Amino acid sequence: MKFAVQEDKVPGSSLPDKLRRLETYGYDGIELWGRDGLRESIGSIDDWLSTSKVKISTICSGYSGDLLAADRESRERAILGIEERLGWASQLGAVGLITVPTFGGPKLSDLSPLFPSMKELETRLLVEEVKRLSKSAEDKGAYLILEPINRYETHFMNRLEQAVAICREIGSEKVAVMADYFHMNIEESKIEESIGQFSDFIVHLHLADSNRVQPGYGHTDFSSLAVLERKGFKHYGALECSILGNPETELPRTLAYLKKHL
């Protein structure tokens, strides 16, 4: 297992500076936000990576629109934004793009009795969209990574099993799942069992303690990392959390803490 940090959690005035610091701390990767400004930086980032041991782990969201929006224009905007960022991930050698299908409550109209429930309607729509996106992911060689998040942030996809069900229906090697420890702490009955059951679909982790600060400052048990390690997990776990204290001290300490659980 390799470890990374989201770019905004790393001290430094520029990406090359952040890469140097992460290398000093002992991390393997950095997770980039997929904001539009990244488009103009791809070439420069490629140059910086050529002299760094730290690589791009993943690109996190950053596109506009909503895959489960009521209006087609918003859905199409999300699809095109995701396809573009899958290309960026491929160019930068990242595992893939992290995608949350929708935030908040339902946006679609109730179409019962044609669809018995709103969830069925949303699921059918998402499956068709992900089928299209899977072809782009396969062509570009980067994963489309579905992220379940907790019930207070979305009504739709909260647990690993729900994301895995989409993956199974699509049947593409490039549609996968990420496991976020903060969200799992809320939604999964037993994190270790869920990780073990769905490990074949997991290609990325977000690491945060129960209080959404760095691991070691809450009550989450990170021993489940060893489950993935035993199964040969070769991808990244990235810190997505607030950093209590001085990052120069805390980021190396957190890395040592996580490695103790492998």
Cβ atoms of residues 236 and 95 within 8 Å = yes
Percent of the chain with pLDDT over 70: 100
Which listed residue (7, 83, 84, 147) is catalytic? 147
Residue range 195-252, pLDDT digits in tens = 999 999 999 999 999 999 999 999 999 999 999 999 999 999 999 999 999 999 999 9
Q: Is the pLDDT of residue 66 over 90?
A: yes
Q: Reply yes or no on whether 23 is catalytic.
A: no
Q: What per-residue confidence (pLDDT) applies to 104?
A: 97
Q: What per-residue confidence (pLDDT) applies to 36?
A: 96
177 forms beta bridges with: 146, 202
Which listed residue (7, 83, 240, 250) is catalytic? 240
Collapsing DSSP to helix, strand or coil, 123 comes out as helix
**Cα separation values, 88 from 34, 59, 99, 114, 183, Å:** 9, 8, 14, 39, 27
Domain segments of the chain: what residues?
2-259
Residue range 144-187, pLDDT digits in tens = 999 999 999 999 999 999 999 999 999 999 999 999 999 999 99
Q: In the CATH scheme, what architecture does the domain 2-259 have?
A: Alpha-Beta Barrel (3.20)
Cβ atoms of residues 80 and 126 within 8 Å = no
Q: Reply yes or no on whether 240 is catalytic.
A: yes
Collapsing DSSP to helix, strand or coil, 188 comes out as coil
Percent of the chain with pLDDT over 90: 95
Residue range 69-93, pLDDT digits in tens = 999 999 999 999 999 999 999 999 9
144 forms beta bridges with: 97, 175
Q: What per-residue confidence (pLDDT) applies to 135?
A: 98
Residue range 19-49, pLDDT digits in tens = 999 999 999 999 999 999 999 999 999 999 9
Mean of pLDDT values over 124-149 = 98
Q: Which residues of 240-250 are buried (b: 16+ CB within 10 A; e: fewer)?
A: bbebeeebeeb
| Distance, CA of 187 to CA of 3 (rounded, Å) | 24
At 110, the pLDDT band (50, 70, 90 cuts) reads confident
Q: Is the pLDDT of residue 116 over 90?
A: no
Cβ atoms of residues 216 and 244 within 8 Å = no
Q: What per-residue confidence (pLDDT) applies to 124?
A: 94
Q: What is the pTM of this model?
A: 0.96
